[in-house]
Amino acid sequence: MKYIIPLKPSPWSATSTLGLAAAASLLFTPATVLQAQKIYSENFEELALGPNIDEGLAGAHVFTKTPPEGWVRDDSQMPGSDGATDGVTEWSGWGFANKKWWVTTAGDQRRSEWSYGSGTVMIADPDEWDDATHAQGLYNAYITTSGISLAGQVADSLVLTFDSAWRPEGFDDGLPNFPVDADGNKINNQTGIITVTFDDGTPVEILHWDSDSSGQYYKDNSVNEAVVIPLQNPAGAAKLKLKFAMEKAANDWWWSIDNIAIGVPPFVSGITADGVSFTARITEALGKTVNQAKPVTVLLDGAAVTPVTLTQDGDRVLVAYTQAPKVFTPNSQHTVSVTFTSNEGKTITETAAFTAPSYTTVAATPSSVTATITDTDWLTIDESKGVTLKIDGNASVTGSATRADAYVNVTYSLGTNIFASGSSHTVAVTFTTGAGELVTDAVDFTAPTFVTLPAWLGTALTSVSDAGLRWRTYQITTNVDGKVATAEKVLAGQMGPSVHDASAQGTDGFYEISAVNFEKDLSDAGRFNSSAADSLAVPDEAFPGIPGTEGSSEVFVGEARAFVALPQAGIYSMVVNSDDGFQVSAGTTNNPTAYILGAYDATRSAGDTAFYFKVEQAGVYYFRLLYFQGTGGASVEWFTLNPDGSAALVNGTQTGAVKAYRKRTVAEPVAPSSGGIESVALSNGKVVINFTGTLKAAGTIAGPYTAVENAVSPYSATPNETQKFFIAQ
């Protein structure tokens, strides 16, 4: 669908759509060729994408906040922009992301219906932003383009076009996260605005959409739309800037934009492609159209291609070509040149570029890689021919290919080897298409981060008794932010007295439980519930001590503590499903948070957070789960994953479940005395560390730690990095 916004009547003439030089050439040249009717275009494909930050779906090249050169982001009015809690980092203001990754990590919710957008797109997503704790306030984000030259352009000749996905929402979010008016009414009203500024003049609003269904600016769901706006460029203007605003949003939906172009119509405003075909889009406006009775020729990377098809789509002409069943090389870059004739008899040549997609996604554990190739209506995979993987350029290995509906999954196990925590890798996946074509798809991936629990931290597998876990609850009457640090303060009694129901707890303040599988209303939640199949059919239990003495099931913190028997050395996969947040750590009874293994440091609806850790030797280790609940739903499950992907509650009855105990029958482990940091001091602008043993350093507290080359005590470090952590062993 095309969306055209008329701003004022204009006496459009045959030559008023041409640049001055082109108009002059009409006087002397019987056949006029207009190159580059388009004076500006931006599809964001040149942006360098990096890894995810707060979003749970890992990817090495999926997101950036760095805009195109010369553009300016303004997040100064975003809640938390002063350095406080700012929601999900990726979406705190306008960002740029791989569209497929965005759709997947956000749980789709109609985002996938945006077929016009492709590759890297520009996004303002208040819905995803609100999935983490942020300061109170409405979402107000702005981004301004660089100055766009208008040299030689005739007045009132230009249009702006872009591809848009807009899903509105408003007047449904209030305290405590969002402001309300003086009468307590909710005021969020997701609003999209575009202004244009010519030279240094006053910004002019050229688009205004909002979510007020009773107002003049209401814009209903339009999740796949081409927008065309006459710019009414004044005579003599030298440049223009566009400013895109997303304002007044709360936990609302999104606005995403791609293929921004400015030009004299008709011109090629964008191009989309899949693995075997492309479609160039010629925008018509202001009475300037394509003469489809005249030939349209297309060059792909300089070579003519036929046949091409023309389709009228509202005020656009779609020019399509397919080379099926042959597929483009994954991630290859291509240039398309389209030559056509306007209704004024002008011959116009326009170009556009696209990048062929990757056909493979990759997921990794510390000890395995799984490549997933997806069948589509234009690509089928013949898994009977085998699929090979080459990791980091090493010798190819053949993985076992299994099909699940349209997906061919190939997993390769590293055996006793593992990837280094958080390390970057490339896997080249080679497969055969249904048409017999051999395709190699190279995909970058990042191995999961994980913490290694040292051997000294464990005791013998027989050093425990009293099967089960201990749980402590602390409930307060005042709402607080959803953060781990605040939850620790609540549990420590620093936020007021507890009003939980203590009638069933022991004298030590703990309840005895068999597993962590709680839901405050005894409703089904997570993987383990009364409606689940087979071994997952474990009914949810009530949180110990909740509802509290005042009848409330809101604003409480809980912790589970247990001695967990880990029967073998190696990598373990652990998961917490929670509504709201949590932190899992390991250590000793007097320091249970010595090693942070996994966390979700914000509020959320019930969801999984998976993490890994490594133990150097089998044994019993002291674990702690911290859980916090704000308002609304409340549930938590704590479980591990077996190598086959099946789940088992910590201390559950499922196959592979690790067992937990309330008591250790031997003395608490003590760190070896062979090394340690004895003192840290500042001297002449340097940090001076006195230590014994081997000094090691890391960029994060979780490591991995590597030995500091040639370090002797006392060691002087210049504090010229954001952060650095040292240990001595």
Asked if residue 135 and residue 58 are part of one domain, the reply reads yes
- Which structure tokens are listed for 122? 């520009």
Decide if 168 is inside a domain.
yes
Decide if 268 is inside a domain.
no
Per-residue confidence (pLDDT) for residue 379, from 0 to 100: 92
Preceding omega of 230 cis (within 30 degrees of 0)? no
Per-residue confidence (pLDDT) for residue 691, from 0 to 100: 82
Task: Indicate the SS3 state at residue 424.
Answer: strand
Residue 703, CA distances (Å) to 47, 204, 448, 451, 724 in order: 30, 52, 13, 7, 10
In CATH, what number is assigned to the domain containing residue 436? Answer: 2.60.40.1220
Task: Indicate the SS3 state at residue 404.
Answer: strand
pTM, two decimal places: 0.74
Asked if residue 436 and residue 485 are part of one domain, the reply reads no
Range of the domain at 387: 360-448
Of 635, 639, 650, the C-alpha closest to 543 is 635
For the chain, how long is the longest CA-to-CA vector?
A: 100
Q: Measured between alpha carbons, how far is 164 from 118 in angstroms, rounded to an integer? A: 11
Per-residue confidence (pLDDT) for residue 717, from 0 to 100: 85
Decide if 197 is inside a domain.
yes
* 362 phi, psi to nearest 5 deg: -130, 135
Per-residue confidence (pLDDT) for residue 84, from 0 to 100: 61
Per-residue confidence (pLDDT) for residue 599, from 0 to 100: 94
Per-residue confidence (pLDDT) for residue 674, from 0 to 100: 66
Residue 659, CA distances (Å) to 515, 572, 656 in order: 10, 14, 9
Of 648, 662, 666, 667, the C-alpha closest to 462 is 666
Per-residue confidence (pLDDT) for residue 35, from 0 to 100: 46
**Chunked mean pLDDT (size 10), the chain, 729 residues:** 37 29 31 63 93 83 95 95 80 96 93 93 96 90 97 95 97 92 96 97 97 97 96 96 98 96 95 94 96 97 97 94 96 96 94 92 91 92 92 86 91 88 92 95 91 94 97 94 90 95 95 97 94 95 96 96 96 95 96 94 88 95 97 95 94 97 95 76 78 84 82 84 81
In CATH, what number is assigned to the domain containing residue 59? Answer: 2.60.120.260
Decide if 243 is inside a domain.
yes
Q: Measured between alpha carbons, how far is 643 from 500 in angstroms, rounded to an integer? A: 39
Contacts of 377 by beta carbon, 8 Å cutoff, 6+ apart = none
Decide if 288 is inside a domain.
no
Whether the CB-CB separation of 207 and 193 falls below 8 Å is answered with yes
Of 116, 128, 122, 126, the C-alpha closest to 67 is 122
Asked if residue 380 and residue 513 are part of one domain, the reply reads no
Whether the CB-CB separation of 170 and 211 falls below 8 Å is answered with yes
Asked if residue 186 and residue 239 are part of one domain, the reply reads yes
Whether the CB-CB separation of 492 and 480 falls below 8 Å is answered with no
- Of the three residues 415, 448, 481, the one that is the final residue of a domain is 448
The number of distinct structural domains making up the chain is 4
Radius of gyration of the CA atoms of the chain, in A: 30
Beta strands 450-453; 607-615: pairing state: parallel
Per-residue confidence (pLDDT) for residue 31, from 0 to 100: 35
Whether the CB-CB separation of 123 and 256 falls below 8 Å is answered with yes
Beta strands 254-263; 38-42: pairing state: antiparallel
Asked if residue 616 and residue 494 are part of one domain, the reply reads yes
Q: Measured between alpha carbons, how far is 152 from 19 in angstroms, rounded to an integer? A: 5
Decide if 332 is inside a domain.
no
DSSP state of 84: S
Return the amino acid letter for 118. S
Of 266, 312, 311, the C-alpha closest to 290 is 266
Asked if residue 514 and residue 371 are part of one domain, the reply reads no
In CATH, what number is assigned to the domain containing residue 615? Answer: 2.60.120.1560
- Of the three residues 448, 473, 494, the one that is the final residue of a domain is 448
Task: Indicate the SS3 state at residue 128.
Answer: helix
Question: How many C-beta atoms surround the C-beta of residue 376 within 10 A?
Answer: 13
Tokens 């109609």 identify what position? 110
Asked if residue 440 and residue 457 are part of one domain, the reply reads no
- Which structure tokens are listed for 165? 């996905």
Q: Measured between alpha carbons, how far is 658 from 652 in angstroms, rounded to an integer? A: 7
Asked if residue 241 and residue 97 are part of one domain, the reply reads yes
Q: Measured between alpha carbons, how far is 74 from 94 in angstroms, rounded to an integer? A: 9
Task: Indicate the SS3 state at residue 385.
Answer: helix
Asked if residue 401 and residue 372 are part of one domain, the reply reads yes
Q: Measured between alpha carbons, how far is 565 from 573 in angstroms, rounded to an integer? A: 14
Decide if 318 is inside a domain.
no
Decide if 9 is inside a domain.
no
Per-residue confidence (pLDDT) for residue 295, from 0 to 100: 96
Asked if residue 518 and residue 606 are part of one domain, the reply reads yes
Whether the CB-CB separation of 419 and 367 falls below 8 Å is answered with yes
- Of the three residues 448, 474, 507, the one that is the final residue of a domain is 448
Q: Measured between alpha carbons, how far is 362 from 411 in angstroms, rounded to an integer? A: 10
Asked if residue 694 and residue 652 are part of one domain, the reply reads no
Asked if residue 554 and residue 427 are part of one domain, the reply reads no
Whether the CB-CB separation of 263 and 38 falls below 8 Å is answered with yes
